[in-house]
Amino acid sequence: MSQFLHDFVVGIDVSSEFSIVAMLAPSGELIRKPFRIDHNPAGFHKLLDILKKEEERLERKPIYFVESTGIFHLPLFFFLRSNDLQGFVLNPLSVHSIKNFDLRKVKNDQKDAEAIARLAKYQDVKFSLVPEPQILALRMMTREYYALSDTLTEMKNRLCTDLYLLFPGFLDVFSNIFGKTALTVLKKFPSPRAIQAADTESLTSLISKISRKGTDWAEKKVNLLKDCAQLASSMPHEFSLLDAKIKVHIDGIESMQASLDGIVKQIHAMIDSELFPADAKRNIELLDGIPGIGFLTAATLIAEIGDFSLFKSAKAFTAFFGIDPSVNQSGKFQGDRNKISKRGTRIGRRILFTIAMASIRTTRKGDEINPVLREFYAAKCVNKKKKVALVAVMHKLLHYIFAVLRDQKPFEIRQPKDHQSWRNTKLGQAPAA
């Protein structure tokens, strides 16, 4: 049974420019026909005046519910909260499940607003609170970072495509085509004709100075570049006019990389601020200490998690990230090829995948990042596909993260036997024979 069954409940269907509001009295009756408010000062104050009048009449404070709509619900949500009203955010999946109760096929904003109100009033539905403003701002910044990162990847792919056509072989000259040396050479000599016309000694000096790897190494690279330029001379002359595209791509890559670096600096400044919650800052430091997790990934995880105290178990924590297995069962049929639910935070899963990949790798010196997870992954790969094994690693990582945040203690790598012995000691049990 819903805890709001006898409350004055307000359901708000939010769009970008306006919202539709439906109000249910404690008895469950619709107080008035759902009405529209615009997202401007006049519209917000109109809603507040109506709610205050109904509050006096019903002698109950309204409790409002909005469907999570990215960012569009936030201005109205914070406005009502700043006026001493209590509100909650509903998951769109939960809201969608109640919109088809009627046999008639009716879909409009008025019905949706009423459905939100009735769902909150009568169903024991899961709801969430909007995080503190500092955490919400951090979430926006980290999501913007990964959005720009995707754009940067797209730019890099376009550059590679053009180089395959306009400068065959160039991608094999440098180990990192997007490194400072390769991009500088491309910027100064964006076409095979420019490389052929370049002075060999000047080009060698340029590469040697930027790479800091000596003249001999630079001379080998110059020879490879000259060979590639000679090969590209067989291409139609008209293609050489497209070297301007390479310059455009390089300028875009450098500009986007500068923007990403600026966002990282801003994230550091936000977290170092005195206004940033101390518990969240402590959690970021704890996650940063786990092998395979860096500062940015730790900050992103905390931004996505929000209030960790809402998670009562590792199982709920895993479901939040959408790593929990889906269930496919009907009658005597029991599905055995169930995928992960993917119902949680998409950015969180992306970060978790990156951490899992880093955890099973080795350093350049051959040292294992996390020997326990690497061994676990290798054992899973014996009879499982690599992607399935990697999901198992992600699941394991979530339990690590949950334990670290729950206990507020730095992460320690323990072999399974050592961990079981430590756990038995903690629980006061006798060690297994």
Are the beta carbons of 192 and 170 closer than 8 angstroms?
no
Q: What is the pLDDT of residue 251?
A: 92
Identify the weakest region by mean pLDDT among 128-137, 352-361, 420-429.
Answer: 420-429
238: tokens are 């008209």
Name the residue among 44, 42, 18, 20 with its Cα closest to residue 33.
Answer: 20
pLDDT grade for 433, boundaries at 50, 70 and 90? very low
Region 214-223: mean pLDDT is 92
How far apart (Å, rounded) are the C-alpha atoms in residues 48 and 56? Answer: 12
Whole-model pTM above 0.85? no
pLDDT in tens, 366-411: 888 999 999 999 999 998 899 989 999 999 999 999 999 999 999 9
Percent of the chain with pLDDT over 70: 87
118: tokens are 């009735």
pLDDT in tens, 16-53: 899 999 999 999 999 999 999 999 999 999 999 999 99
Biggest CA–CA distance in the chain, Å, is 88
Residue 168 amino acid letter: P
- Of 3.40.50.300, 3.90.25.10, 3.50.50.60, 3.30.420.40, the CATH number of 8-130 is 3.30.420.40
How far apart (Å, rounded) are the C-alpha atoms in residues 239 and 232? Answer: 10
Residue 55 amino acid letter: E
Identify the weakest region by mean pLDDT among 60-69, 250-259, 347-356.
Answer: 60-69
For 5, counting Cβ atoms within 10 Å of its Cβ (0-12 exposed, 13-18 middle, 19+ buried), the class is: middle
How far apart (Å, rounded) are the C-alpha atoms in residues 234 and 248? Answer: 24
Are the beta carbons of 354 and 364 closer than 8 angstroms?
no
SS (H, E, C) the chain: CCCCCCCEEEEEEECCCEEEEEEECCCCCECCCCEEEECCHHHHHHHHHHHHHHHHHHCCCEEEEEECCCCCCHHHHHHHHHCCCEEEEECHHHHHHHCCCCCCCCCCHHHHHHHHHHHHHHCCCCEECCCCHHHHHHHHHHHHHHHHHHHHHHHHHHHHHHHHHHCCCHHHCCCCCCCHHHHHHHHHCCCHHHHHHCCHHHHHHHHHHHHCCCHHHHHHHHHHHHHHHHHHCCCCHHHHHHHHHHHHHHHHHHHHHHHHHHHHHHHHHHHHCCCCCHHHHHHHHHHHCCCCCCHHHHHHHHHHHCCHHHCCCHHHHHHHCCCCECCCEECCEECCCCCECCCCCHHHHHHHHHHHHHHCCECCCCCECCHHHHHHHHHHCCCCCHHHHHHHHHHHHHHHHHHHHHHCCCCCCCCHHHHHHHHHHHHCCCCCC
Work out the end-to-end distance of the chain between its first and last CA atoms, rounded to an integer number of angstroms: 47
Q: How many CB atoms lie within 10 A of CB 239?
A: 15
pLDDT in tens, 93-136: 666 656 555 545 556 778 889 888 988 888 877 777 677 889 98
Whether the predicted pLDDT of 431 surpasses 60: no
| β-strand pairing of 62-67 with 333-334 | unpaired
How far apart (Å, rounded) are the C-alpha atoms in residues 241 and 159? Answer: 15
Whether the predicted pLDDT of 271 surpasses 90: yes
Q: What angle do CA 336, 345, 154 make, to 5 degrees?
A: 100
Are the beta carbons of 171 and 157 closer than 8 angstroms?
no
